[in-house]
Structure 1
């Protein structure tokens, strides 16, 4: 079953939840400040999520609790151990491990998800909503999904949560990669109803704990739509940078000098300046450590695929999209698990 058919409106109720009673209006007020002794939730401790959750734990009040969940038990245990080490003997900075997503949702006023694919997000919220009402809290629950998924799925999940009045769902994918997640300098683009200004400010306040910028792009689904548009540009720029650098090197140009010139000229872009694909040009780039870490080529392939599907649904032509998708498909097969800048190495191999 496709993601779209799994979340189609006529079947949403059976997929996500059992019929729920309406909450009293008094339980749905927004919290505009961070309450002490609150509980926060985080699901998904991958390369991005781990560092985002680490920054979250460091910046929320020390007396608050962070409850985490990941399918990799070892990763969750490692996160807790590091948090305890950072807290020292103070006894504050508490972190707990949940047995399942429902437990995280029940205990948390704010729950953040960072997951690889649309189906993972569906599974998490299905497991939360299928058991009926969540227990009421002092403030309305806020669900922030930082995953990059397709807009249709994101809108359907938002509708499922909002129609059952279980909280507010916000799509808030990120830009900045693992480096930005580690440094706490991520940029977020989010979709949320603008009818209540308090909600927008509350979301900005939460995202500020993990990044530097947050753009409200519109209603639910707008965040992931903006992210896919951005990553379409990134996908094309990355290939162009790899091709240009490979061309210059084969012409006998020094790669550092070439990159310095490009980054002072009209060819300047994030793949050339920050994530340069040539080993040794940028010491902090994945290319300089065997293309390890960073933004995986499989994730870029996925994002490009989502952008192409969304473009087709809206009747929008993308003239370079199919060619770029073919490149990332081939690169993923040859260098699975590597940073997407490994396109450069793949081009070198083709030239041999």
Structure 2
């Protein structure tokens, strides 16, 4: 996601200096107008704002301290971390930045690769109000909405709660389509009803887990990831940790975390998170799209 986000900053008129461990990502960024640096500290050395986006909290903390990102930056630099990480790690990153004479925001995103490319991401920010105000123009160049959720770590808290809703709702939507198939209901008929009734949700109307009703959903590309199942498993794992640590009674969140963990370790390793619908049909079952059944009576 960082590549298209950086490209949108370039299009908005910002000078962007970037670094990535993957050569192909660097080449794509350079083609989009990003100035490529030889290392992450070199990219941060003259920046007024440093944006990071990494897989896990340990990577963020290691980059900040052990790999010298904080030490390379000018005093008072604003560090904006868009990774999705544990709340405790986000707070530790804030503390590390402050100890080095800098400022920080945790600002994870929602919207997936398609949202990053379209510039329609939602940012959930945690940190000071002044830091959020300074970062808002940059966030606006990459997304459609930015919400200041509270103090350090609040952005991560909002992200894991949001993605718990998404994970649970995708499972529910997938189960409903499989149930509809068993009852002779077409995918389109169920979509036409649920998308305008009380079953309406993002998992249905934007990322529909069956091909046809939403042509842009990953289901129409053999579930090539927009938001990969392992990323959903990671986010739900963070939510599950928070549930246990807080003693919260959240049975559906914990169940979704278990289901996605198993899916991501198996057939879903390289698929979109909506492909979890395939597990409800069984490993060898096709993905039917039955014709509407005349025997189904009118809704009441």
TM over 0.5, shorter chain: yes
Q: Is the 8 A contact 2:19 2:26 kept in 1?
A: yes
What TM-score do you get using the length of structure 1 for normalisation? 0.77
Matched, 1:68 2:18: yes
Which runs of 5 or more structure 1 residues have no equivalent in the other structure? 1-47, 84-94
- Aligned partners of 1:108, 1:131: CA distance in 2, in Å? 12
1:293-308 equivalences in 2 (<5 Å): 293-308=225-240
Aligned to 1:160: 96
- Aligned partners of 1:130, 1:115: CA distance in 2, in Å? 13
Aligned to 1:323: 255
Correspondent of 1:58 among 2, 7, 11: 11
1:91-102 equivalences in 2 (<5 Å): 95-102=34-41
Output the aligned Cα RMSD. 1.7
- Aligned partners of 1:256, 1:52: CA distance in 2, in Å? 34
Relative to structure 1, is the Cα distance of residues 245 and 119 closer, same or farther in structure 2, using a 3 angstrom cutoff? Answer: same
For 1:216, what is the secondary structure of its paired residue? strand
- Aligned partners of 1:74, 1:264: CA distance in 2, in Å? 42
- Aligned partners of 2:44, 2:275: CA distance in 1, in Å? 38
Q: How many residues align?
A: 284
- Aligned partners of 1:189, 1:50: CA distance in 2, in Å? 19
1:283-298 equivalences in 2 (<5 Å): 283-298=215-230
Aligned to 2:108: 173
1:142, distance to aligned residue in structure 2 (A)? 1.3
Which runs of 5 or more structure 2 residues have no equivalent in the other structure? 286-300
1:312, distance to aligned residue in structure 2 (A)? 1.7
1:281, distance to aligned residue in structure 2 (A)? 2.1
1:104, distance to aligned residue in structure 2 (A)? 1.7
- Aligned partners of 2:113, 2:107: CA distance in 1, in Å? 16
Relative to structure 1, is the Cα distance of residues 121 and 255 closer, same or farther in structure 2, using a 3 angstrom cutoff? Answer: same
1:1-352 equivalences in 2 (<5 Å): 48-61=1-14, 65-83=15-33, 95-129=34-68, 132=71, 134-136=73-75, 140-165=76-101, 167-194=102-129, 198-332=130-264, 333-350=266-283, 352=285
Q: Is the 8 A contact 2:79 2:105 kept in 1?
A: yes
Relative to structure 1, is the Cα distance of residues 71 and 129 closer, same or farther in structure 2, using a 3 angstrom cutoff? Answer: closer
Relative to structure 1, is the Cα distance of residues 305 and 131 closer, same or farther in structure 2, using a 3 angstrom cutoff? Answer: closer
For 1:266, what is the secondary structure of its paired residue? coil
For 2:51, what is the secondary structure of its paired residue? strand
1:238, distance to aligned residue in structure 2 (A)? 0.5
Relative to structure 1, is the Cα distance of residues 130 and 54 closer, same or farther in structure 2, using a 3 angstrom cutoff? Answer: closer
- Aligned partners of 2:22, 2:98: CA distance in 1, in Å? 30
Aligned to 1:25: none
